[in-house]
Structure 1
């Protein structure tokens, strides 16, 4: 028999609650630490490294548990639209999006784990690049909290860590509903996308190839220097 969510579970799963908890955590940590200090900045980098290793290790644990589950060979029927990644708009399969296709539970779990790993990897690479190139420290802290929340919100965490049974919890039955991206996570993704687009426009304006990082970086620096000098003259 399917079990409905309790009031506490609904409060926990509310995007507003998660966003408020994330913002409160960031504000509390900022009030204690001064990341302008070299030693505290080094500590933040080490904490970020350890946290990301733990998060990726958790994904590897999910893979191991899914592979060795008793129901790993169970056949489920999934629409191609339900396998669409959040990192790209095209479907994985360009066939009829309403036509269900058979696949094993382990194959389905691998697709979903790959989506989570891709989202985390792309965000991590961009934030780390911004940190070392522009000197931003807070995005490192935000990435830790947001990605930890992302892993916690996955059905894998509820099944393999919390031990919830998909026969009891209807929302854990495969195929799962696509996760809702909103709040701080969407703000971070939009901000990173805008910064990447602005950098591409700078490189194109200077006549450089945006796909060539070695020649693009000096051009971007030169473009920023021109804007700063123009602002100083005005």
Structure 2
């Protein structure tokens, strides 16, 4: 498994022999047998599944399953992936996020979600399907709010929601259990009011901006189910 083509991904952005060997051992401990290149992100001319400030994401084989493998960058702002894995588990308990398969100091293995970013998906979506997906995203956000987990980046849905058979919120590297949750408010505004996704959604579903903002303001103060239902009622879902 320690083939030369893995070097740029297991030890990024600079090579460290000790880090490379450690990560090979961690892959083996997780039962990772191979990595498959390909995806929407290009790194040094090679396509991979994703790239962020904390890690690179590639497809990997874990037993008989295809998973997404997040590999901590050498220059990441954290020494381990332990905290992100802890937050990811909380998300899973709230029925959100790709299923966590396992983690080590430098790696997180999770369910591979094969789909489109919500912004790309919206363009070809029928009205009924769009309503269902938007409602599902908001229900997942409400579950995260109730669990006390703030995702932190849902104002940029294009990078953090993938739509396949179902919409899936991804990437909990910026999540927190200490700051006030704002998942519903961030996602609702991103889908229906402001930004790239909203600009496309408005062509099919139009929200009453003032009504929606008032409902979100009330919900932000008191995150009850009744107030969340009022948010849903203010939006074309």
TM range (shorter): under 0.3
Larger Cα-atom Rg: 1
Provide TM-score, normalisation by structure 2: 0.23
Normalised TM-score (structure 1): 0.23
Could you say which structure has the higher helix fraction?
Answer: 1
Bigger fraction of residues in strand: 2
